[in-house]
């Protein structure tokens, strides 16, 4: 009689022998395929089969400014997608540059889809999304995905001329959960750390740009409604699905309603321009709204990011970090702006000479500090 322990040992031995025989058979099979050139032939066959889906790509595009004038020298990033027997879809990235008429083209390429990505030209900004064009079954594709094969009717891409760059106050308000429904909740544009470093632990007592929001069910029962307004008296808002680079002069309302379709669980992104009354400031607020997945929803979650122009002008063009104005946070000018707003005043925009002076002073202080720390 075999004991349980002996049976386990025998089972393990048999399994090891089976695995060894399988490995030997696989090695013999692989060696045979190599001798017969099987792998190369099979790969070639699969590549030829996949290539049958690829089509000849002819594409014509044109880049213009907001007034419709052609732009020369625009660097256009393109990607041709083609089929592959193993990775299914592969891409080939390349670039084209527009001529004096703003035109560019793609010829002598094969694939199933062409994607027009980023457009780059100094002094201009392309705010459109990547656009894809189908070549596999263009007649069945949506109208905006059908490739323009006639050079007299190219696809048109518009770029925006960058306006006045400003040292905007960048806010990370974070996430806010709206619960219960029907009541307004404060939506801060600046987080606690940003304000507490300036005003101390009583930072909430100071008047700063902020939103308020509440949510409820739509009357027809299909989805929800989110109502957003400025926190303070006289504040007004304007809602759009496009980013603002200059705050509009008109079109503001005391409050705005945003419909949220069902089902829940998905983020809805909108842009809000907040115009405060005392002092007059303009804030670009990107709001992501997400209702809970459970029907009916128990709560609504909002996440906000903002750029605020505290100087009373309507420009919402953020100066990049390598720009002189983009480094205002390093020279404590942001703190002065927060304090001015809290006092109901617009801060004074520092001159370029002042910034250069402060920059030189700060760099000198940093160099002296580094020298002291490195000395024995």
CATH number of the domain enclosing 82? 2.60.40.10
Beta strands in the chain (DSSP E): 55-64, 75-84, 88-97, 103-111, 113-120, 124-125, 131-134, 155-158, 160-161, 165-166, 169-178, 185-188, 210-217, 224-230, 236-240, 255-260, 268-275, 282-291, 300-309, 317-318
Q: Are residues 131 and 192 in the same domain?
A: no
Q: Which of 282, 190, 284 is nearest to 243 (CA)?
A: 284
Which of 53-62, 120-129, 303-312 holds the top average pLDDT?
Answer: 303-312
The secondary structure of 212-278 as a DSSP string is EEEEEE-TTSSSEEEEEEESSTT-EEEEESS--SB--SS--BSEEEEEEPSSSSS-EEEEEEEE-SS
For residue 64, pLDDT over 50 is answered with yes
Q: What is the model's pLDDT at position 361?
A: 78
Q: Are residues 291 and 319 in the same domain?
A: yes
What token pair was written down for 28? 């013999």
- Choosing from 161, 195, 222, the residue where a domain stops is 161
pLDDT digits (tens, 9 = 90+) for 200-214: 888 888 899 999 998
Strand arrangement of the beta sheet that strand 103-111 belongs to = 103-111, 55-64, 155-158
Interhelix angle for 192-199 vs 333-342, to 10°? 80
Interhelix angle for 38-51 vs 4-36, to 10°? 70
CB 331 within 8 A of CB 181: no
Asked if residue 24 is part of any domain, the answer here is: no
Spatial distance between the Cα atoms of 304 and 352, rounded to a whole number of angstroms: 31
Asked if residue 14 is part of any domain, the answer here is: no
- Choosing from 132, 161, 190, the residue where a domain stops is 161
Angle among Cα 115, 97, 63 to the nearest 5 degrees reads 70
Across all residues in the chain, what is the average pLDDT? 80
DSSP state of 148: -
Q: Are residues 148 and 181 in the same domain?
A: no
The SS3 assignment for 357 reads helix
Q: What is the model's pLDDT at position 130?
A: 84
CB 54 within 8 A of CB 81: no
- Count CA within 13 A, CB hemisphere, residue 70: 14
The SS3 assignment for 121 reads coil
Q: What is the model's pLDDT at position 233?
A: 93
Spatial distance between the Cα atoms of 310 and 338, rounded to a whole number of angstroms: 8
Q: What is the model's pLDDT at position 368?
A: 82
Tokens 């740009």 sit at which residue? Answer: 209
What token pair was written down for 127? 């705010």
Query: Looking at 102-106, 178-182, 252-256, 269-273, which range is the least confident one?
Result: 178-182
Domain of residue 341, residue span: 165-352
Q: Are residues 141 and 185 in the same domain?
A: no
Asked if residue 26 is part of any domain, the answer here is: no
For residue 295, pLDDT over 80 is answered with no
Asked if residue 32 is part of any domain, the answer here is: no
């Amino acid at each position: 009689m075999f004991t349980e322990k002996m049976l386990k040992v025998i089972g393990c031995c048999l399994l090891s022998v089976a695995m060894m025989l399988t490995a030997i058979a696989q090695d013999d099979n692989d060696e045979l395929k190599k001798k017969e050139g099987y792998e190369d032939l099979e790969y070639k066959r699969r590549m030829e089969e996949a290539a049958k889906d690829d089509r000849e790509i002819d594409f014509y595009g044109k880049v213009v400014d907001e007034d419709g004038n052609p732009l020369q020298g625009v660097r256009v990033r393109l990607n041709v997608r083609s089929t592959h027997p193993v990775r299914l879809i592969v891409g080939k990235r390349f670039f084209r540059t527009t001529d004096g008429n703003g035109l560019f083209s793609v010829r002598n390429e094969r694939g199933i889809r062409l994607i027009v990505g980023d457009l780059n030209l100094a002094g201009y900004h392309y705010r459109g999304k990547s656009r894809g064009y189908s070549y596999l079954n263009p007649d069945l594709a949506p109208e905006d995905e059908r490739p323009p094969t006639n050079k007299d009717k190219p696809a048109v891409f518009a770029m925006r001329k960058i306006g006045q760059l400003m040292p905007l106050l960048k806010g990370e308000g974070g996430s806010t959960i709206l619960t219960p429904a029907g009541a307004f909740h404060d939506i801060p544009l600046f987080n606690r750390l940003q304000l507490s470093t300036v005003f101390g632990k009583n930072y909430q007592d100071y008047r700063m740009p902020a939103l308020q929001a509440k949510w409820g069910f739509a009357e027809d029962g299909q989805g929800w409604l989110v109502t957003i307004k400025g926190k303070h008296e006289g504040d007004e808002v304007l809602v759009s699905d496009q980013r603002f680079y200059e705050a509009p002069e008109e079109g503001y309302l005391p409050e705005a309603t945003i419909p949220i379709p069902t089902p829940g669980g998905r983020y809805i992104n909108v842009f809000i321009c907040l115009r405060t009354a005392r002092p007059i400031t303009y804030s670009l607020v990107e709001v992501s709204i997400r209702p809970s997945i459970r029907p009916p929803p128990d709560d609504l979650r909002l996440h906000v990011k903002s750029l605020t122009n505290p100087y009373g002008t309507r420009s919402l063009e953020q100066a990049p970090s390598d720009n002189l104005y983009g480094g205002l946070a390093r020279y404590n000018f942001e703190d002065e702006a927060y304090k001015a707003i809290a006092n109901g005043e617009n801060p004074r925009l520092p001159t370029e000479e002042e910034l250069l002076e402060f920059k030189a002073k700060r760099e000198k202080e940093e160099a002296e500090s580094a020298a002291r720390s490195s000395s024995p």
